[in-house]
Amino acid sequence: MQSRLLILDNAIHRHLFRPAAHWRPYLREAAVDVVNVPSGQAIPELGHYTHLLLTGSETSILEPKRWFTSEAGTIREAARRGIPILGSCFGHQMLVYALSGPEHLIRSVPPEIGWASLKILERDELLFDAPDPWHTFVYHFDEVSFPLPEPWRVLARSAQCPAHVIRYGDRPIWGIQAHPELPLAKARLFLVLYLLLARRDRRRLVTAMRRPSREDRIADRLVDRFLTSKARSYRSRG
């Protein structure tokens, strides 16, 4: 059965930030539909899809918007159906918002901007061949709190963020705080763009741009692992 992926695109300024386009090169032969949730586009019925991907966003998970409700409801329905879910950055935080509640989300002190080294704490089918440490691009001002309630498991952390990769028990539901979909050149362009537009943390952006960057390009492997995960039915709530 061919994978059919629904991407919930959480971009606010779609002419500048195009996260769904960043993920597309890794999706290979999967059929893909994209819905921009902040703009009010209707989220289709999940029965047509095998996988769900949640993108990053310029908004803060700690400043709830009306559209959070519809996205959170879709996540809970996908979890109930056993549909595999992958969330990145804001999408990672939205997973916790939907499945465990907003009380498990906090500001990042300090924000994590640039390239981080992630320590693998537990290997599963998503991370079984990831390098340790895993070097990847990060850009976030919020994060999920630690420790997380059950059944969340922390699979990887950085020096600043203790819950960088998480999984919802043994279900095929993963959150990644980083942006593995952004290769080095695009990540640098991302920083330049936000340096031009940012009204906060300009010094941190400049510092991140000046630091040596190192990346392990494993997004294709992560997406392959995700797309080969199968739906599982659950009777329990969540």
pLDDT value for 236: 44
Q: Give all strands of the β-sheet with 105-120 in edge-to-edge order.
A: 31-36, 4-9, 51-54, 85-88, 173-176, 165-168, 152-157, 105-120, 134-144
Question: What positions carry a catalytic annotation?
Answer: 89, 179, 181
pLDDT value for 206: 82
**What is the per-residue DSSP string for the chain?**
---EEEEEE--SSTTT--HHHHHGGG-TT-EEEEEETTTTPPPPPGGG-SEEEE---SS-TTS--THHHHHHHHHHHHHHHT--EEEETHHHHHHHHHHT-GGGEEEEEEEEEEEEEEEE----TTTTT--SSEEEEEEEEEEE-SSPPTTEEEEEE-SS-S-SEEEETTSSEEEESS-TTS-HHHHHHHHHHHHHH-SS-HHHHHHHHHS-------HHHHHHHHHH-------S--
Query: Shortest CA distance to 14 belongs to which of 38, 41, 43, 44?
Result: 38
Q: What is the pLDDT of residues 175-230, one digit of tens each?
A: 999 999 999 999 988 888 877 776 667 788 888 888 778 899 999 999 999 999 98
Whether pLDDT at 31 is above 70: yes
Domain-wise residue ranges, the chain? 4-228
Distances (CA, A) of 78 to 82, 104, 177, 231: 6, 20, 20, 10
Of 11-25, 68-82, 92-106, 134-148, the one with minimum mean pLDDT is 11-25
Rounded Cα distance, 98 and 107, in Å: 18
Q: Which residue has the tokens 């061919």?
A: 2
Whether pLDDT at 105 is above 90: yes
Residue 26 · residue 219 · CB < 8 Å: yes
pLDDT value for 71: 98
Rounded Cα distance, 55 and 66, in Å: 17
pLDDT value for 164: 98
CATH code: domain 4-228 is 3.40.50.880
pLDDT value for 203: 80
Q: What is the pLDDT of residues 125-142, one digit of tens each?
A: 999 999 999 999 999 999
